């Protein structure tokens, strides 16, 4: 062992001990014949002292050490004259008697500090240096702690962690698969799993009763800030349960994580919101309910008064931003620009201030009497000093989504989205299908194994669009942290689903034959849920992107810029796989 203590360990009770430490040179400074070095490792920082008078040679050596040199020292623990209250080792320092350079270091391309001078690109290229920063490493320590707690919680409840395969068959449903050519089966391919869905259902057929897995999943999608080609799910499934059992089990897990990781005790039940209400009141299936600011629909009040934009609208709705009547014209113009951005796509925005005397002053005053405007005010329950913002459009769903963006923006501007406040919510009663304009057919909103609500099964034949699913998502602070469903366990109902989803019997058999077969041998009722680990960690760490809680993430082109992967293959490797790049017509 190269050390007797770590750099985070020594305290005043250790004074006068002879110790050996090893670590990285964080910084050094000379002061009146003394050289002070901050020695860093994962566990902390300890101050080393070299005295020019006592040992000029050693001090000279110390003066030559550069940032990030790896050194080993021997010395005696001494009480510090100027104590540092900001670090746990701040009461002591080491009077060094021996120094050994274990490895020299070139000057790093950015500073290894919480507030580094390195930009995103250079930090990704030298990710191994970026990971030296406390801010990044602590995210991964949190991630480790969360998986320990997840496993503890589930193991205590009798869940078994079972590894399902990474090399599986490809299923064209859902997102695009990554595929792996099989050398031993020329012309054939494995796929990497988008989730262990089919295997966990098979484990229920096998009687495993309670399964979980912290599982790598893969999707070949065009990437966004919060997507990675590989990501990690806490994947769970239970038998002989209904929706209520699954919700209470995984609400329990969420509460356990809040308590064990963030020391937040949540005693009350999480609120539940029907999907239809979430869309109606928040324009989103993952509303951020840290703040209220619900949508109020205004068709009855505002339509038909001569304002052409509203008169031709299929939806008029708004939000009331408490206390924001003081917004300047410039701020309001900026909000209008915000909703008109192509990513949001609104045509414009109407606003109305509630004056101190209760009158309403709006941007469309010439079309509305004060009486109508007062009705509107009442609809919002608005008070003097509040600001009302209204959008309209010819497609209710689209307009609601625009209003959702505006609501979130206002929440941010008014400081209502504190990262250390957490608002948890279940979204339930999802539609089983959504209509796909492009293909002109119904698609599964979750996946084709989701069970309809028993009371809605009759509607499958008459009005499939109205069928609700036994499906649920958990949303925290506007982030979907997980979701799942009760599954179909009856092979006839499953076949009916495939038919409704446009599968021919042959294709259903080809794709999911083994699952259909399995269901014939006694499948128990079952259901489950998958939590996104990356998202949970980001949420608890207060990160804006999941990238910072992943040790070696990919960039937006799916590249690892550190190792420069992917890369062209050796031609011999391609030949062995019986593959050619490019198409020969």
Q: Is 229 in the site for a copy of itself (CB under 8 A)?
A: yes
Q: Is 42 in the site for a copy of itself (CB under 8 A)?
A: yes
Q: Residue 218's Cα: distance from chain center in Å?
A: 15
Give the CA count within 13 Å in the CB-facing half-sphere of 575. Answer: 3
Distance from C-alpha of 161 to C-alpha of 154, rounded to nearest angstrom: 9
Name the residue nearer to a copy of itself (CB basis): 124 or 349.
124
Query: What one-character DSSP code corresponds to residue 551?
Result: S
Q: Is 584 in the site for a copy of itself (CB under 8 A)?
A: yes
Residue 554's region, left for phi above 0, alpha for psi from -120 to 50, else beta, is beta
Question: Least separation, in Å, of the C-beta of 459 and a copy of itself?
Answer: 23
Binders of a copy of itself among residues 325 to 364 (CB under 8 A) are none
Q: Is 578 in the site for a copy of itself (CB under 8 A)?
A: yes
Name the residue nearer to a copy of itself (CB basis): 22 or 376.
22
- Output phi, psi for 325, to 5 deg: -65, -20
Binders of a copy of itself among residues 180 to 219 (CB under 8 A) are 180-192, 198-199, 202-203, 205-209, 216, 218
Helix or strand holding residue 393 (H, E): strand 387-393
Name the residue nearer to a copy of itself (CB basis): 97 or 182.
182
Distance from C-alpha of 59 to C-alpha of 417, rounded to nearest angstrom: 52
**Long-range Cβ contacts of 372-381 (<8 Å, 24+ apart):** 372/301, 372/302, 372/305, 375/301, 376/298, 376/301, 376/302, 376/352, 377/352, 379/296, 379/298, 379/301, 380/296, 380/318, 380/320, 381/320
Residues paired with residue 236 on neighbouring β-strands, in sequence order? 212, 529
Among the listed residues 436, 297, 457, the one whose alpha carbon sits nearest the alpha carbon of residue 380: 297
Report the residue from 120, 292, 395, 490 that binds a copy of itself according to the rule CB under 8 A: 490
Q: Is 492 in the site for a copy of itself (CB under 8 A)?
A: no
Tell me the per-residue interface mask from 22 to 41 with a copy of itself, x by CB under 8 A, - otherwise. Answer: xxx---------------xx
Question: Least separation, in Å, of the C-beta of 246 and a copy of itself?
Answer: 10
Residue 393 is encoded by which pair of tokens? 């459009």
Please calculate the CA angle 82-84-87 and round it to the nearest 5 degrees.
Answer: 155
Q: Is 114 in the site for a copy of itself (CB under 8 A)?
A: no
Question: Least separation, in Å, of the C-beta of 48 and a copy of itself?
Answer: 16
Q: Is 149 in the site for a copy of itself (CB under 8 A)?
A: no
Name the residue nearer to a copy of itself (CB basis): 241 or 425.
241
Name the residue nearer to a copy of itself (CB basis): 60 or 141.
141
Name the residue nearer to a copy of itself (CB basis): 413 or 545.
545
Binders of a copy of itself among residues 153 to 172 (CB under 8 A) are 155, 160-170, 172
Q: Is 108 in the site for a copy of itself (CB under 8 A)?
A: yes
Contact between 240 and 524 (Cβ < 8 Å): yes
Q: Is 557 in the site for a copy of itself (CB under 8 A)?
A: yes
Q: Is 240 in the site for a copy of itself (CB under 8 A)?
A: yes
Within a 10 A sphere around the Cβ of 186, how many other Cβ atoms?
11
Stretch that binds a copy of itself, among 124-132, 355-363, 433-441, 453-461 (CB under 8 A): 124-132
Q: Is 272 in the site for a copy of itself (CB under 8 A)?
A: no
Binders of a copy of itself among residues 495 to 554 (CB under 8 A) are 514, 517-525, 550-552, 554
Q: Is 141 in the site for a copy of itself (CB under 8 A)?
A: yes
> ω into residue 566 within 30 of 0, thus cis?
yes
Binders of a copy of itself among residues 56 to 95 (CB under 8 A) are 68-70, 72
């Amino acid at each position: 062992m190269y050390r007797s203590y770590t750099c985070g360990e020594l305290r005043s009770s250790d004074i006068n001990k002879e110790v050996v430490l090893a670590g990285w040179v964080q910084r050094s400074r000379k002061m009146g014949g003394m050289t002070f070095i901050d020695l860093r490792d994962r566990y902390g920082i300890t101050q080393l002292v070299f005295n020019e008078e006592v040992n000029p040679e050693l001090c000279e050596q110390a003066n030559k050490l550069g940032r990030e040199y790896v050194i080993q020292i021997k010395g005696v623990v001494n009480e510090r004259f100027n104590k540092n209250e900001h670090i746990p080792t701040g009461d002591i320092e080491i009077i060094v008697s021996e120094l050994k350079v274990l490895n020299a270091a070139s000057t790093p391309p950015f500073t290894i500090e919480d507030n580094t001078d390195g930009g995103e690109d250079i930090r990704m290229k030298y990710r191994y240096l970026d990971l030296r920063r406390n801010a990044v490493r602590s995210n991964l320590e949190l991630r480790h702690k969360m998986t320990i707690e997840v496993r503890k919680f589930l193991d205590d409840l009798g869940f078994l962690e079972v590894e399902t395969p990474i090399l599986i068959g490809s299923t064209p449903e859902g997102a695009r698969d990554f595929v792996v050519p099989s050398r031993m089966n020329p012309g054939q391919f494995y796929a990497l799993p988008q989730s262990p869905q089919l295997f966990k259902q098979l484990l229920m057929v096998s009687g495993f009763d309670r399964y979980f897995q912290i599982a790598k999943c893969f999707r070949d999608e065009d990437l966004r800030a919060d997507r990675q080609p590989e990501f990690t799910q806490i994947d769970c499934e239970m038998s002989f349960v209904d929706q209520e059992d699954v919700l209470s089990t995984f609400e329990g897990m969420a509460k356990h994580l809040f308590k064990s990781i963030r020391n937040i005790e949540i005693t009350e039940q999480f609120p539940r919101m029907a999907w239809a209400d979430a869309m109606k009141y928040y324009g989103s299936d993952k509303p951020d309910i840290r703040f209220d600011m619900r949508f109020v629909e205004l068709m009855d009040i505002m339509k038909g008064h001569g304002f052409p934009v509203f008169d031709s609208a299929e939806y008029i709705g708004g939000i009331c931003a408490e206390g924001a009547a003081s917004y300047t014209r410039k701020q309001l113009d900026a909000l209008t620009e915000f909703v008109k951005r192509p990513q949001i796509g609104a045509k414009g925005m109407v606003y109305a201030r509630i004056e101190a005397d209760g009158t309403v002053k709006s941007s469309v005053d010439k079309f509305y009497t004060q009486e109508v405007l007062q009705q509107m005010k009442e609809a919002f329950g608005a008070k003097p000093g509040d600001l009302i913002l209204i959008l309209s459009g010819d497609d209710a769903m689209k307009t609601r989504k625009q209003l959702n963006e505006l609501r979130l923006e206002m929440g941010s501007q008014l400081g209502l989205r504190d990262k250390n406040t957490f608002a948890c919510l279940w979204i339930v009663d999802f539609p089983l299908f959504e209509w796909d304009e492009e293909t002109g057919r119904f698609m599964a909103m979750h996946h084709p194994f989701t069970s309809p609500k028993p009371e809605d099964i009759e509607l499958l034949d008459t009005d499939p669009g109205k069928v609700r699913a036994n499906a649920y998502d958990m949303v925290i602070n506007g982030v979907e942290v997980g979701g799942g469903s009760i599954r179909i366990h009856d092979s006839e109902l499953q076949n009916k689903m495939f038919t409704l989803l446009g599968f021919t019997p042959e294709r259903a058999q080809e794709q999911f034959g083994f699952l259909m077969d399995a269901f014939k041998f006694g499948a128990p009722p079952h259901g489950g849920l998958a939590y996104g680990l990356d998202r949970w960690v980001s949420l608890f760490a207060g990160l804006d992107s999941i990238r910072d809680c992943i040790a070696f993430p990919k960039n937006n082109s799916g590249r690892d810029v550190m190792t420069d992967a992917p890369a062209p293959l050796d031609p011999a490797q391609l030949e062995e796989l019986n593959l050619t790049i490019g198409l020969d017509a």
